[in-house]
Structure 1
């Protein structure tokens, strides 16, 4: 059975802005509260604030960027979050854009796959209480995280294309996708994950899809909402490549046109309530284990209150 979860649809400037979305998870059947990388209120800190306010809910980091922290710090923060909330954590990681890698590390990863493999391997060992001894191409670690019982921490890997999906099959507990149409997950991502898992002799990881959504209304234009929530992604080469592989006709030069193509290609879902629920069910049929409802475009166009109400409406219809 597919779970449904909630993404905080903006970068919080104050931790109390998170509370309405934590409340949605607390009071509805939503499985988990997710946050992408934020350079305002850092996601770990925001989730702990929500727990202190009484909303001790399962959380997901989808995804935090590897260049921002050493694997030891990543493992420590993930376990600390689990201890502070008393609930499970999906600690998702991704290499980020080459421009970020260049800015923070002095050079982009020559091989993002190797970097991700080393990073997740180190974090997993540390969370398991192992004495991690690694001198890799990108990760150096000779340390141990003091063993201590905590709620479950699962390792996630941001996945867009087949090679990273295969790697997720080998080393991750969860593959986390963004803007990926259901058919692409079914036909491309999941087969690659199964291949990687088979090679590693381990179970296939869970698949979590973070899906941008908006209810259709007479005063709304879906392409404008899609652009408001995804303009940055439509400028990144790895997202454009994934969308082209999935059959979405993006140009990379006209973001407004690309946002309309995103809607047409079902990378962004819009429709009346019944139609939108049916489109989300396509992710269930594709084999997705968890769908994270992303109302970022609605929040950017109409405000956080509107996005919260829209998420509640969808969760009620999906219950």
Structure 2
């Protein structure tokens, strides 16, 4: 199982991201990931890092499709890969219904249909096919000229069974965020495999983005883990996923909810040995890559987050 790094800050300058890219470049970390960038666009930030000499394999986990037409997405992916000469996972998701409404005026009646149309269009464009589609959400007549570079892996953000089945059908990578390893093993992975088998294609590999914070002198690691994840934990689709996994964060206090999340290995915290045990649980669940998320620590200090990543990458065997 590979270990990777989530960029834990929303930088206003490429220099703020460079130490994290350099860490990936010079350590055993596999790649650098970023969620949806709302200050610096993720694709442009990755290009700037490559231009600065710290280009590394990268992952978008995940870009929200209401913000970008699939043709524009394909052009951006091709541009980034041609300029960086680095492999990429281009992950996509529909976002929460409230986000969809804020951008489009109303949510997707069927996020599954929207994602199926979107990923199929992007894949056809990236492989040089002529696209002629009239969909429920996306209509396009276009073709991109071939570009001599490797083709990005296409990822889908996966939290619940129906999206897992769709990922098995159309994606190269299933990207989870705060999904317990037991839930991945018992619910998501079987759904991915069954759908892929029905579609006659390989099952997507699984990438899990996981909050991490050691317990060290003077650090309230439980508070840090909660702080770095509270936005996601307040979203109905994350609450529903966790409830399906037997973890209810809707009614408990942050303290009791954090305890449940630590017990379920949704959060990895405590000693290095305990973090290592948690990573082994993800490996046993069939996860191919864990992305270490130190956002909570970075909210206090970006330098401390960098030190945390260096320690875990050096001292823990996944």
Quote the Cα distance in structure 2 between the aligned partners of 1:198 and 1:11: 39
Secondary structure at the residue paired with 2:292?
A: strand
Establish whether residue 135 from structure 1 lines up as the match of residue 111 from structure 2: no
Secondary structure at the residue paired with 1:241?
A: helix
Structure 1: which 5+ runs fail to align? Answer: none
Q: Which residue of 1 aligns with 2:20?
A: 21
Q: Which residue of 2 aligns with 1:47?
A: 46
Deviations along 1:170-198, one digit per CA (max 9) or x if unpaired, are 00000000001111111111001011101
Q: Which residue of 1 aligns with 2:298?
A: 299
Instruction: Give the CA deviation at 1:218.
Output: 3.6
Q: Which residue of 2 aligns with 1:316?
A: 314
Q: Which residue of 2 aligns with 1:146?
A: 145
Instruction: Give the CA deviation at 1:257.
Output: 4.3
Quote the Cα distance in structure 2 between the aligned partners of 1:273 and 1:129: 47
Confirm or deny: 8 A CA contact 2:3 2:29 kept in the other structure.
yes
Instruction: Give the CA deviation at 1:254.
Output: 4.6
Q: Which residue of 1 aligns with 2:161?
A: 162
Confirm or deny: 8 A CA contact 1:226 1:263 kept in the other structure.
no
Q: 268-277 or 234-243: which moved more?
A: 268-277
Quote the Cα distance in structure 2 between the aligned partners of 1:28 and 1:218: 26
Aligned length, in residue pairs = 317
Instruction: Give the CA deviation at 1:99.
Output: 1.1
Instruction: Give the CA deviation at 1:222.
Output: 3.1
Secondary structure at the residue paired with 2:155?
A: strand
Secondary structure at the residue paired with 2:128?
A: coil
Q: Which residue of 2 aligns with 1:59?
A: 58
Quote the Cα distance in structure 2 between the aligned partners of 1:148 and 1:142: 19
Deviations along 1:196-245, one digit per CA (max 9) or x if unpaired, are 10111101011000011001124233331122111111111000001111
CA root-mean-square deviation: 1.3
Q: 115-124 or 278-287: which moved more?
A: 278-287
Q: 215-224 or 96-105: which moved more?
A: 215-224
Confirm or deny: 8 A CA contact 2:182 2:285 kept in the other structure.
yes
Confirm or deny: 8 A CA contact 2:239 2:248 kept in the other structure.
no
Confirm or deny: 8 A CA contact 2:272 2:316 kept in the other structure.
no
Establish whether residue 126 from structure 1 lines up as the match of residue 150 from structure 2: no
Alignment of 1:80-229 (within 5 A): 80-229=79-228
Q: Which residue of 1 aligns with 2:262?
A: 263
Q: 155-164 or 9-18: which moved more?
A: 9-18
Quote the Cα distance in structure 2 between the aligned partners of 1:138 and 1:170: 19
Instruction: Give the CA deviation at 1:250.
Output: 1.4
Q: Which residue of 1 aligns with 2:78?
A: 79
Deviations along 1:271-293, one digit per CA (max 9) or x if unpaired, are 11122112111111111011101
Instruction: Give the CA deviation at 1:248.
Output: 1.2
Confirm or deny: 8 A CA contact 1:234 1:258 kept in the other structure.
no
Quote the Cα distance in structure 1 between the aligned partners of 2:316 and 2:122: 35
Quote the Cα distance in structure 1 between the aligned partners of 2:29 and 2:60: 16
Secondary structure at the residue paired with 2:29?
A: coil
Quote the Cα distance in structure 2 between the aligned partners of 1:129 and 1:255: 49
Q: Which residue of 2 aligns with 1:4?
A: 3
Quote the Cα distance in structure 2 between the aligned partners of 1:33 and 1:84: 17
With over 3 angstroms needed to count, the CA separation of the structure-2 counterparts of 1:181 and 1:265, relative to structure 1, is: same
Instruction: Give the CA deviation at 1:258.
Output: 3.1
Instruction: Give the CA deviation at 1:97.
Output: 0.8
Instruction: Give the CA deviation at 1:255.
Output: 4.7
Secondary structure at the residue paired with 1:107?
A: coil
Instruction: Give the CA deviation at 1:256.
Output: 5.3
TM norm structure 2: 0.96
Structure 2: which 5+ runs fail to align? Answer: none
